[in-house]
Amino acid sequence: MFRKRKSTGIGNRVERSTSQKNIPITLEVLRERIDNMDDAKIIEHQTQNNKLFVLIYVGTLIDDARVNEAVIEPLQGCVNEKISDCISVSEITDISTLKEAEKKLMLGSVLIFDTIENQLFAVNLKNTTGRGIETSETETILYGAKDSFTENLEQNITLIRRRLPLTSLKSEKFTVGSQTETKIILMYIEGLTNPDFISIAREKIESIDYDQILDSSQLAAFMEDHNHSMFPQFQQTDRPDVCAFALGAGKVTILVDNTPFALNAPISFFHLFQSPEDYINRWIVASFLRILRYFSFVLSLLMVPIYVALTTHHYQMIPLQILFVLVDTRSRLPLTPFWESLLMLLTLEVIKEASLRMPTKSGQMLGVIGGIVVGQASVEAGFASQVLIVIVGISAIASFLVPNYLINKANTLIQFIILILASFLGIMGIFMGIILLFVHLNALTSLRQPYLAPVAPFYGKDWLDLFIRGPLVWMKTRPEALHPLQKWRYSRRR
Amino acid sequence: MSGFSLFEKTSSFNGVYITLMVNRMQMLYFVIIMPVFLIYPYMIWIIIIVGLLSQINIFMLSKWFNSNYASRGYEGFAELFGERSVRLLSFIGLGFILLKLTVITLGYVEVTQHFIFPSLNTNWMILFILLICWYVCSHGMTPTIRFVVIAFLSTAWMFLLLFNFLFQPFNSIHDLFPLLPYEWTMKSWKAVVFIFSALSGPEYLVLLAPWFNTRKKVLKYMTIGNVFTIFEYVFLFIASLFFFGPHYLEENRFPMMEMMRYLESPVFERIDMILISVYLVNFVFAISIFMLLFYGATRIALKRTKDQTTKSGFAVCCSIVSICLFINNELLWKKATNQNILLELEIWAGALTYLLIPLFLFISLRRKGRV
């Protein structure tokens, strides 16, 4: 039943588009199409030899000053037989179908209708206004490049091309979204990136059939191998240097128009813990910081569940001195450790989410009020123990060390799951949760490549840039897990 | 990729995986109870000699891996033995797999009950472990084999924690004597069988041959795994001899775990609880592999190899395993006092499979070669 209905729908769409193709392009049809569009303009002019031409454009999409300069003035002084010969703008296209005319009009072109020849041309005068290149706010670093992507696709490509001036750096263009007609650019280095990744990415982009693709994360959702996972399977970044590094290692980069975030793939779970600053700091310092990030991730995930497990099931595991403190603080509490922790964690999440949504200054204020007032008050009111407040606080701060925001959010959810398991099965429950997490990660793939590489599957050489960031001079080869066509980073060794 | 294809070969694995799998499949429940069956210092030699015997088996298994039949999986077996015989062998194998699954699961659950949750109904623990294993299996054979790396990295370092016990001031070198037996009793023979059974597990790898891409150096990789296991067994046995002494050793049910109780840490008092919980990773890996093999063997026995794997079929197999585990737990394991029938059976069954499977394959290959 559903199939039948679906096929009827497609049939309708095909029929409509065929009929639209057959409609002859006349001024009346074009007028009808832009009816009720306040910003659409139709202007008539004459050339020097009295030829009438009509300009049709959407004022808000094009550069008004350039219409005069590049189209109206040259055409008014035109003495040639063909109108198109008078325009010196490089991007001038003959339009043959109404659909094409509509598309060009809505993407920022001026349509020129030659009434004598009954011909239609499009001149691209797209308004390129947008914000300038600014510093990245999501991946801030102290040293290193400060520029970040903007919403302008061409500009974003330029930022990458400046870093990788190679003719082998290819950029394939796709259009997705039946309503949004979003431009997508797939970038890769030919002869280096594994062709499988390119074909998989190409195949996935081409198979997208959706009305709106407004953001790169939406695109990622359609391209991911596992839609139901909490873990991102594409690295989202607004830093061109990160993209250049990824491309150079043998990954593909996907840029989406009107989005300042690019997608890099294939990635592994461990990529989410890497920061651009890792490659700027001295390797020993960078390695320490990276280990600290992993440690913090584990800490943020397990500290509260361990508290619940120990206080609920395994008092014998707590050293005597700490046990005295715990017994003292917990003796006056009406709630069980699980409910106490759950409520505190939920409160913390509410505060975190609220401070994100509030304006910057109010957000900071909220953080202070939430942290100090709610924390202190809940202890005094007897809802939570001081020990738990300390643990929740450390856990929250530790979670901020993970550079990837998406994994940070996933972390919170996993924490709740492990908390529930800990309340039922104590320390055993915690490890069951961790095993489930590993099993899940082990089964995940990014562009059909294992998500836990280079641990499982095991690629020994890649460990030099995994938990530590080894010295760059030692990293002679590109990551094995990416199966690059050019193994060596040194050109002389190739 | 199709909807539910458990045995689809999405990637192949190199020799390192063979090493890890050989080692982790030999380090299951029997390593925990090993000193109880050995007790006497001269049994160190038994571990080493049986380890060498195990190496002969490894050699025979490697011959199978090198043959053309191995990479073709079921078709390879069918060509060598004939379809009927393979179905019959699969049917017999089901019992052995089920027995191994039962003993390692119930054994581990008993350890957790003994050390972590003395008042917990073990059926709940069995259920939780099985649920995790179902989840692992549901991803298919490829991710399950890949999981061995996590199992190895999570558990292989544990024996190093006992390193300290070799150098305690109360240790006496006399605890390691006599190194030669005064008499050879039935108990000594049983120890031989036990160790041989404890080292079993690699014979099941012949069923996973299509997933491995290494053909040439398979003997080297399997040998590394086997040698590492023997080293671990010898080390753990010596450590337990030093710690308990041969006289007190037989009084303990789980000497390995008892030793871990004495480990100290400034943060946690009972490290053993954490270590037992971490060791679950290894059991989850092994149980998942055996569950998948159980499902695969059932399909062969029922002549369903050409059909696509189904969720319902897999669920039925998992349910059979679960029911079997619950029944065995209630009727045999819990009630066992001095002699655990299931454990005795597994000691013999493990030794039998490890002796016969490599030998059978080796002889069959040679005979086929001559024909």
CA-nearest residue of chain B to A450?
Answer: B143
Cis? peptide before A457, omega within 30° of 0: yes
Between A290 and A360, residue with greater pLDDT: A290
> Tens digits of per-residue pLDDT, A232-286?
999 999 899 999 999 999 999 999 988 999 999 999 999 888 888 888 888 999 9
Percent of chain B predicted with pLDDT > 90: 51
Does B85 contact chain A (CB < 8 Å)? Answer: no
Is residue B107 very low, low, confident or very high in pLDDT (cuts 50, 70, 90)? very high
Residues of chain A contacting B266 with CB distance shorter than 8 Å: 319
Q: Which of these, B60, B63, B12, lies nearest to B216 by C-alpha position? A: B63
Percent of chain A predicted with pLDDT > 90: 27
CA-nearest residue of chain B to A315?
Answer: B269
Give the residue-averaged pLDDT of A43-63. Answer: 83
Return the structure tokens found at A89: 């703008």
Give the bridge partners for A186, in sequence order: A172, A254
> Tens digits of per-residue pLDDT, B145-175?
999 999 999 999 998 888 888 887 877 777 7
Give the residue-averaged pLDDT of A375-389. Answer: 81
Q: Do the chains contact at B139 and A427, CB–CB below 8 Å?
A: no
For the cut 70, the answer to whether the pLDDT of residue B134 exceeds it is: yes
For the cut 90, the answer to whether the pLDDT of residue A116 exceeds it is: no
Residue in B17, B135, B153, B269 to test binding to A, most A beta-carbons within 10 Å? B269
Q: How far is A329 from chain B (nearest CA, A)?
A: 19
Mean pLDDT check: name the lowest of A183-197, A298-312, B29-43.
B29-43
Give the residue-averaged pLDDT of B340-352. Answer: 90
Helix axes A2-22, A98-106, angle to 10 degrees: 90
Contact (Cβ atoms closer than 8 angstroms) between residue A342 and residue A384? no
Cis? peptide before A266, omega within 30° of 0: yes
What is the pLDDT, as a whole number, of residue B370? 54
Q: Which of these, A138, A134, A161, A170, lies nearest to A149 by C-alpha position? A: A134
What is the pLDDT, as a whole number, of residue A418? 94
Enter the DSSP assignment of B13: B
Residue in A306, A313, A417, A431 to test binding to B, most B beta-carbons within 10 Å? A431
Q: Do the chains contact at B277 and A431, CB–CB below 8 Å?
A: yes
Is residue A362 very low, low, confident or very high in pLDDT (cuts 50, 70, 90)? low
For the cut 50, the answer to whether the pLDDT of residue A7 exceeds it is: no
Mean pLDDT check: name the lowest of A237-241, B241-245, B297-301.
B241-245
For the cut 90, the answer to whether the pLDDT of residue A84 exceeds it is: no
Residues of chain A contacting B280 with CB distance shorter than 8 Å: 428, 431-432, 435
User: Residue with structure tokens 């990529």?
Assistant: A271
**Mean pLDDT, all residues of chain A:** 84
CA B110 → CA A251, B105, B213, distances in Å? 48, 9, 38
Residues of chain A contacting B16 with CB distance shorter than 8 Å: 458
For the cut 90, the answer to whether the pLDDT of residue B357 exceeds it is: yes
CA-nearest residue of chain B to A458?
Answer: B149
For the cut 50, the answer to whether the pLDDT of residue A17 exceeds it is: no
Give the residue-averaged pLDDT of A288-310. Answer: 92
Mean pLDDT check: name the lowest of A89-103, A313-327, A356-370.
A356-370
CA distance B259 to B272: 8
SS3 letters across chain A: CHHHHHHHHHHHHHHHHHHHHHCCCCHHHHHHHCCCCCCEEEEEEECCCCCEEEEEEECCCECHHHHHHHHHHHHHCCCCCCHHHHCCCCCEEEECCHHHHHHHHHCCEEEEEECCCCEEEEEECECCCCCCCCECCCCCCCCCCCECCCCCHHHHHHHHHHHCCCCCEEEEEEEECCCCCEEEEEEEECCCCCHHHHHHHHHHHHCCCCCCCCCHHHHHHHHCCCCCCCCCCCEEECCHHHHHHHHHHCCEEEEECCCCCEEEECCCHHHHHCCHHHHCCCHHHHHHHHHHHHHHHHHHHHHHHHHHHHHHCCHHHCCHHHHHHHHHHHCCCCCCHHHHHHHHHHHHHHHHHHHHHCCHHHHHHHHHHHHHHHHHHHHHHCCCCHHHHHHHHHHHHHHCCCCCHHHHHHHHHHHHHHHHHHHHHHHHHHHHHHHHHHHHHHHCEECCEECCCCCCCCCHHHHHHCCCCCCCCCCCECCHHHCCCCCECCHHHC
Contact (Cβ atoms closer than 8 angstroms) between residue A462 and residue A435? no
Nearest to B269 among A316, A435, A456 (CB): A316
Q: Is B83 helix (H, G, I), strand (E, B) or coil?
A: helix
> Tens digits of per-residue pLDDT, B114-130?
999 888 889 999 999 99
Residues of chain B contacting A450 with CB distance shorter than 8 Å: 11, 146
Q: Domain residue spans in chain A?
A: 2-124, 153-267, 281-449
Cis? peptide before A165, omega within 30° of 0: no
For the cut 90, the answer to whether the pLDDT of residue B57 exceeds it is: yes
CA distance A401 to A288: 13
Q: Do the chains contact at B280 and A431, CB–CB below 8 Å?
A: yes
For the cut 90, the answer to whether the pLDDT of residue A193 exceeds it is: yes
Is residue A188 very low, low, confident or very high in pLDDT (cuts 50, 70, 90)? very high
Residues of chain B contacting A428 with CB distance shorter than 8 Å: 112, 116-117, 125, 277, 280
For the cut 50, the answer to whether the pLDDT of residue A51 exceeds it is: yes
> Tens digits of per-residue pLDDT, B69-99?
888 888 888 888 888 999 999 999 999 999 9
Nearest to B274 among A427, A439, A456 (CB): A427
Query: How many residue contacts between A and B have a Cβ separation below 8 Å?
Result: 81
For the cut 80, the answer to whether the pLDDT of residue A365 exceeds it is: no
Q: Do the chains contact at A427 and B269, CB–CB below 8 Å?
A: no
Between A193 and A80, residue with greater pLDDT: A193
Is 0.90 exceeded by the ipTM? Answer: yes
Residues of chain B contacting A426 with CB distance shorter than 8 Å: 116-117
What is the pLDDT, as a whole number, of residue B150? 94
For the cut 80, the answer to whether the pLDDT of residue A170 exceeds it is: yes
What are phi and psi for residue A57, nearest 5 degrees? -160, 165
**Mean pLDDT, all residues of chain B:** 88
Is residue B339 very low, low, confident or very high in pLDDT (cuts 50, 70, 90)? low
Q: Which of these, A75, A70, A61, A64, lies nearest to A105 by C-alpha position? A: A61
For the cut 90, the answer to whether the pLDDT of residue B104 exceeds it is: yes
Residues of chain B contacting A435 with CB distance shorter than 8 Å: 132, 280-281, 284
For the cut 90, the answer to whether the pLDDT of residue B277 exceeds it is: yes
Contact (Cβ atoms closer than 8 angstroms) between residue A59 and residue A39? yes
Q: Do the chains contact at B284 and A430, CB–CB below 8 Å?
A: no
> Tens digits of per-residue pLDDT, B24-45?
999 998 888 888 888 788 888 8
For the cut 80, the answer to whether the pLDDT of residue A13 exceeds it is: no
Nearest to A442 among B16, B117, B143 (CB): B143
Q: Domain residue spans in chain B?
A: 15-370
CA distance A292 to A467: 10
CA distance A411 to A398: 11
CA A158 → CA A162, A182, A215, A261, B313, distances in Å? 6, 19, 20, 15, 55
> Tens digits of per-residue pLDDT, A340-360?
899 888 888 888 888 777 776
B15-370: CATH homologous superfamily?
Answer: Amino acid/polyamine transporter I (1.20.1740.10)
> Tens digits of per-residue pLDDT, B196-227?
999 999 999 999 988 888 777 889 999 999 99
**Which residues are CB-contacts of A454 (< 8 A; sequence separation ≥ 6)?**
A268, A270, A460, A461, A462, A463, A466, A479, A480, A481
Between B262 and B1, residue with greater pLDDT: B262
Does B316 contact chain A (CB < 8 Å)? Answer: no
